[in-house]
């Protein structure tokens, strides 16, 4: 297919070091990496990368493209969603298979999602299974999903209409542990939220800001502590907490780890660079997501977790609805607003700028959070998440000198706003390469719908992570 590309003299970063080097790509794979490479195939393309950071392409393990949330369907599909991802330096996404009708089984969900993505995805992809209910059939399907289909992680929700009760959570954790799958959890105490929501609406408190009041951080932290204990009851099942938004929840994760429990945590850029002051804005509907944005001191605690290693990954939870139409469903009643924010394109630049360029984290830690750990945890390593010889040539080049003011006009999704409008960043992804093909260059999308491939992932083994 593609021939050879030599990427010359970039600052090549992996999860442990950064060094000036050449990278030779042949047929979509990393063929060589060395201080200088002189022997290259004839006709080899050359990309000059001096002064640029050359890093493994981003892996975003938390997206919701084309998802039907009951009151709305998210407005990015696998074409616009992955196009946007590619332009932001991401080369692999792991989406969540949506919520089928009651009685829908896991294999059917997978067939539906493969069809959604097949002719649309511009970068490689996989899916998390979503356990929306528990019965003998679903439990029996889990092993073949892992072994035959390469679906090696599954999501449980403790809130929303498709929440599981504690007994079902325990059953799911136990079986998923047995079949070498990683369980990911959206932890919020649904009963407490439902009560608070009812009380607020009953008092006429319907404005968007009451969304945040209906789901305070104690609801999230309680559910984190509970699911950590349920995982311990499930023979110490490996557990991955998604979209962590607060310091107390992080402390529970830290405590579990001190007790040698296999628990990992993800946060998202919105919890790092935005705060609950957004709910005072006129366009507050733009910021309705769950868990909601928190007081600014929570962001500081999350940054601390990023710096000290207690947060493992940064993903986006990209779940986009248009502000002009879809988010307006919540205008008279916050509880009618579809939940979720766009962000798949801004993850890498926001973390590069506010993490690396601000001096909080090293370039290697950036790679660890955005690519290496996602690949390790979700069975993509060493095909993805690294630039070692033999890995897929998925990479991103960042120009640390470019200063950009984020505007929705610069982005490539299908929504009509970015929650990060006006935010200034230092450093920008100037080229994204997916299996040797340039899919984005200087703000232009250059990839092709259907070029992304479904990736069969490796089973989860705790000992490979610890």
Residues that bind ligand URP (CB under 6 A): 64, 186, 289-290, 317, 319, 339-340
* Contact partner, 340, from ligand URP, Zn ion, none, Cβ < 5-8 Å per class: ligand URP
DSSP character string of 262-324: -EEEEE-HHHHH--GGGGGSTTGGGG--SSPP--HHHHHHHHHHHHHT---EE---B----TT
CA distance 392 to 58: 12
- Distance of alpha carbon 109 from its chain centroid, rounded? 20
Cis amide linkage into residue 154, ω under 30° from 0: no
Q: Label residue 379 exposed, middle or buried (CB < 10 Å: 0-12, 13-18, 19+).
A: buried
- Total interface residues for Zn ion by CB under 5 A: 5
- Which residue's CB atom is positioned nearest to Zn ion? 104
431 touches 70 (CB < 8 A): no
* Contact partner, 175, from Zn ion, ligand URP, none, Cβ < 5-8 Å per class: none
Residue 84 or 437: which CB sits closer to Zn ion? 84
Residue 131 or 289: which CB sits closer to ligand URP? 289
First to last CA, the chain: 38
Q: How many CB atoms lie within 10 A of CB 188?
A: 25
Does the protein bind Zn ion through residue 435 (CB under 5 A)?
Answer: no
Q: Residue 236 has which token pair? A: 């110490």
* Contact partner, 100, from ligand URP, Zn ion, none, Cβ < 5-8 Å per class: Zn ion
Residue 289 or 357: which CB sits closer to ligand URP? 289
Residue 108 or 257: which CB sits closer to Zn ion? 108
223 touches 163 (CB < 8 A): no
Phi and psi at residue 217, to the nearest 5°: -65, -25
Cis amide linkage into residue 291, ω under 30° from 0: yes
Q: How many CB atoms lie within 10 A of CB 297?
A: 11
Residue 69 or 367: which CB sits closer to Zn ion? 69
Smallest distance from ligand URP to CB 339, Å: 3
| CA gyration radius, the chain | 21
* Contact partner, 108, from Zn ion, ligand URP, none, Cβ < 5-8 Å per class: Zn ion
Residue 279 or 428: which CB sits closer to ligand URP? 279
Q: Residue 286 has which token pair? A: 């733009």
Q: Which of 76, 77, 266, 317 binds Zn ion (CB under 5 A)?
A: 317
Find where tokens 């951080």 sit.
Answer: 217
| x/- map, 10-49, Zn ion, by CB under 5 A | ----------------------------------------
Helix, strand, coil percentages, rounded to 5, for the chain: 35, 25, 40
Does the protein bind Zn ion through residue 100 (CB under 5 A)?
Answer: yes
Smallest distance from ligand URP to CB 212, Å: 12
Residue 83 or 96: which CB sits closer to ligand URP? 96
- Helix runs in 372-416, H state only: 373-377
Q: Tell which residue, 5, 47, 1, has the closest CA to residue 24.
A: 5
Smallest distance from ligand URP to CB 347, Å: 14
Smallest distance from ligand URP to CB 4, Å: 41
* Contact partner, 104, from Zn ion, ligand URP, none, Cβ < 5-8 Å per class: Zn ion
H or E segment and range at residue 52: none
- Which residue's CB atom is positioned nearest to ligand URP? 339
Does the protein bind Zn ion through residue 186 (CB under 5 A)?
Answer: yes
Residue 220 or 317: which CB sits closer to Zn ion? 317
Smallest distance from Zn ion to CB 62, Å: 5
* Contact partner, 339, from Zn ion, ligand URP, none, Cβ < 5-8 Å per class: ligand URP
Does the protein bind Zn ion through residue 108 (CB under 5 A)?
Answer: yes
Smallest distance from Zn ion to CB 464, Å: 25
Residues forming contacts to Zn ion in the complex (CB under 5 A) are 100, 104, 108, 186, 317
């Amino acid at each position: 297919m593609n021939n050879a590309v030599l990427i010359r003299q970039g600052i090549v970063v992996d999860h442990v070091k950064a060094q000036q080097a050449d990278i030779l790509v042949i047929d979509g794979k990393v063929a060589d990496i060395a201080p200088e490479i002189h022997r290259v195939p004839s006709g080899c393309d050359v990309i000059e990368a001096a002064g640029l950071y050359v890093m493994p392409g981003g892996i975003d393990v938390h997206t919701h493209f084309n998802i039907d949330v009951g009151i709305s369907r998210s407005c990015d599909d696998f074409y616009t969603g992955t196009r946007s991802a590619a332009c932001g330096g991401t080369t692999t996404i792991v989406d969540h298979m949506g919520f089928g009708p009651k009685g829908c089984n896991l294999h059917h969900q997978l067939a539906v999602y493969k069809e959604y993505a097949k002719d649309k995805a511009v970068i490689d992809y996989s899916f998390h299974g979503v356990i929306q209910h528990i019965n003998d059939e679903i439990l029996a399907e889990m092993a073949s999903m892992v072994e035959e289909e390469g679906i090696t992680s599954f999501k449980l929700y403790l809130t929303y209409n498709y929440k599981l009760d504690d007994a079902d959570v325990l059953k799911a954790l136990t079986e998923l542990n047995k079949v070498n799958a990683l369980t990911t959890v959206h932890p919020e105490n649904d009963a407490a939220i439902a009560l608070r929501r009812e009380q607020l609406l009953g008092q006429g408190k319907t404005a968007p800001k009451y969304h945040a009041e209906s789901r305070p951080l104690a609801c999230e932290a309680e559910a984190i502590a509970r699911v950590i204990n349920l995982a311990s009851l499930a023979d110490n099942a490996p557990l991955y907490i998604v979209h962590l938004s607060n310091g107390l929840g992080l402390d529970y994760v830290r405590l579990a780890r001190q007790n040698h429990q296999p628990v990992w945590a993800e946060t998202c850029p919105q919890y790092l660079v935005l705060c609950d002051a957004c709910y005072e804005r006129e366009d507050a509907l733009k910021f309705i997501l769950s868990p909601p944005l928190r007081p600014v001191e929570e962001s500081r605690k999350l940054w601390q977790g990023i710096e000290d290693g207690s947060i493992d990954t940064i993903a986006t939870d990209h779940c986009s609805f248009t502000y002009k139409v879809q988010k307006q469903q919540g205008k008279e009643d916050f509880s009618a607003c579809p939940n979720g924010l766009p962000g798949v394109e801004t993850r890498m630049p926001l973390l590069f700028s506010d993490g690396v360029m601000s001096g909080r984290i090293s370039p290697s830690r950036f790679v660890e959070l955005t690519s290496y750990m996602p690949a390790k945890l979700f069975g993509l390593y060493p095909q993805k998440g690294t630039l070692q010889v033999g890995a897929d040539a998925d990479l991103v080049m960042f120009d640390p000198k470019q200063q950009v003011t984020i505007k929705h006009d610069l982005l490539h999704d299908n929504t009509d706003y970015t929650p990060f409008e006006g935010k200034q960043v230092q450093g920008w992804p100037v080229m994204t390469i997916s299996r040797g093909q340039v899919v984005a260059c200087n703000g232009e999308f250059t990839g092709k719908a259907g070029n992304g491939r479904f990736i069969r992932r490796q089973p989860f083994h705790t000992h490979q992570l610890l």
